[in-house]
Every structure is written in structure tokens, then in C-alpha cells.
Amino acid sequence: MKTEFEKKLKFAQRPPSLSERLKKEKLPLILWGIGDVGAEVKHYLDGNGISIAAAWVDNIDQEKYFEGVPVYSLDTLKSMYQRFNVILGHSHYDYGRMIEEKEECIDKVFYLIDSAYSRYESADPQFIHDHLEEYYDTYMLLDDDVSRESMVAYLNCKMNDEIGFILDYVKKEQNFFNNDIFKVGSQEAYVDVGAYDGDTLALFLEECGGSYKKIYALEPENDNFSKLEKYVTEHKLQNVVLKKQGTWKEKTTLFFDAKQQQRSAIDVERKEGTTINVDALDHILQGEDVTLIKINFPDGAYETLQGSRDIFERCAPKLAIIVGNDEKAMIRLPQLVKKQRQDYHIYFRFSTCMPYRLYMYAIKEDAC
């Protein structure tokens, strides 16, 4: 089985970065999308000295600019340029293949393989090869073929900087709560770790129809916490506990890289700057029952699970955790979940056609 697993991995020389490839292009570069993902991609382009001619949105009826760049519709762009290249600036990476085939004016479509938390680099094939035994152990922990195929597709995409590896493994869009692994009930005690401005809270409420037992929403960043408070107040939500706090394996203070959009996160390497208070979930919740935990950040998910031993033992909550942020986390997180509770089933699913949106779902055996 290990040999078969290794054969599925497409090891090759680490490819040139997206910035290196874009700098060789002669045609105008157009950014498609101006939302959070578009802002993250623009940040990457600016940081690498790459200029775009314009941004493209599907519906625009007035003059508009995005970070100093004019915004046009596709029809306007086609009237301005005979041919141009497109850089995806939204999460629907599956649309890239479609427009490349459909629109003759589009020469190439480029994808920033990772655009969250400023982690733009492709995976190092040598690292994966050196840790092949650990990847194989995780591969064998996964409970179905879709999970195992998704893991291989993710690794191949990250090593080769090629989005095509994962396009065929996104059967339908999913999210933390609307998925093919578990159903959200009307009596959930839900813990939103990294609640941001209430965006995933809104997804949870949509899926449970507004009926739940209790919500604990944790967000350490000041501006985001203010937005979270505003969301809860405006929607008149009851039985919601808000805490301006991060999570870890113990009570301490950590440095925090407080950037805009999708880039704010704990920075374990940082030695100065903004700090946040963190604590173990077991301490924060003080024995409260929990049925569902969502974690959505790159650094600290492992330590958060380490600090949840009592919750695991008492409650065996459903888990929805992003693992696509880091190919190293893919090794550690499933193995820790199994160490905490042997009776968990573990699944990988892509929520959209972006590698960093690979989720790990875990549920107790009798909940299947």
C-alpha cells in the first residue's frame, strides 16, 4: 500500500513561482475579482513588483477603482485588448478552466495556489519525500476513498503549483457545516474558534435554521471582534458567549500578525509587536458541553486540539478544521485527533477548488 501511495505522488523539480512566470508575460495582466481573495492576490502581486492593467468584475455600471486600478466588465476589456492574461482573484478556481476554453481573447489563466495568510509558496517536494512515512500514516487514517484521493490531489497540486490536480475532486461546494459528512442539528453547542467578523457564524445559523443550544465565539483581533459583536447585536442572537481571545494548549500570551483580510494569524516566530491572550479551550469553556467545534486558522489548530482533551473525552464533538493552509498540518492534525479519541472517523473534503480550502471533518463512530 505504501508503494501505491508513493506512486500516486507526482514528484518533480520545484516549479518557478507564480511571480517568476508572470514577469515573463508580455500580454496585459487582468485581475478577475476584487473581494477578499482579490485583495490577497493584489497584495502578493504588489509585493513582487507585478503590475496589473485592470481588474475585472462581472457586473459594473459605473466608474470604479480597486486599490488604484480601474475596474471593467469583460465586454469592456475585450474592446480594449485583443488578447490578455487573467489572474484569478476569487475562490471559484473551477471557472478559470471554463473561461480559458470559452473566451478567445484570454491567452492564459494564472492561479495563486495559496492565497490565505500570506502563504504563497508551493510545497517543497523534498520535504514531502523526506516525510513520506508520516504522510502515508495519515493517508491510512482517512476513512474513505474521496478523502485519500483529495489528500493526494492536494499534495500534487502544492508540489507542482498546478490547480488541475484538484479541479476534478470538488464535486460540489461545501462549507464547515453544509457537507456530506455530518448534519448540523437544532441543539448544537457550537464553538467558533477564529470567529472573525461573524462570517462562519452566519453559515452556521443558515444551516441550523437559527435553532441552537448555545454558541461560543472566540476572536482575538480587536477590529474583527468589534465587527463580531456588532453582528451578534444586529441579529439579536441569544445564548451567545463572545470572547476576545485566542486558543492554545495553555494560558499564555502570543504574538499576533494583525493584517487585513485573510492574513491575520498567530505568528509563533514573531518576537515583537501585537500580542493576544490565548488559553486552552478546556479552561475557557470550564466544563460546558460542546457538540461542534470549527477551527479556521493556520498556526495554533494543533495546539488548540491539545488544549481540548477534556472536551474530547467528555463530549466527542464534531470537528470541522481547515487543513489546507499547511501541508505539514496535514500530517499532524488527523494523527492528534486519533490519539485523542480512537473512535473518530476522519475525512478530507475540498470546499472549493482552492488547495487551502481543504477541510478535515471528524466525527465519533456512533455518529456516522
Return the residue matching grid coordinates 491510512.
140
Q: So where are the chain's domains?
A: 18-110, 173-322
CATH number for the domain formed by residue range(s) 18-110 = 3.40.50.720
Cell numbers that stand for 176 in this block: 464547515
Could you check whether 18-110 and 173-322 share the same CATH topology? yes
The two counts, helices (H) then strands (E), for the chain are 15, 17
Whether residue 190 contacts residue 214, with contact meaning beta carbons closer than 8 Å, is answered with yes
Q: For the domain with range 173-322, which CATH number is right: 3.30.1370.10, 3.20.20.70, 3.90.1150.10, 3.40.50.150?
A: 3.40.50.150
The pLDDT score that the predictor gives to residue 270 is: 55
- Confidence at 297, pLDDT banded by 50, 70, 90: confident
Highest mean pLDDT among 120-129, 172-181, 207-216, 349-358: 207-216
The pLDDT score that the predictor gives to residue 362 is: 98
Tell me the CA distances in angstroms from 46 to 26, 118, 225, one per residue in order: 18, 12, 28
Q: What is the pLDDT of residues 114-133, one digit of tens each?
A: 655 455 567 889 999 999 99
Instruction: Please give the model's pTM, rounded to 2 decimal places.
Output: 0.89
pLDDT at 67 over 90: yes
- Confidence at 271, pLDDT banded by 50, 70, 90: low
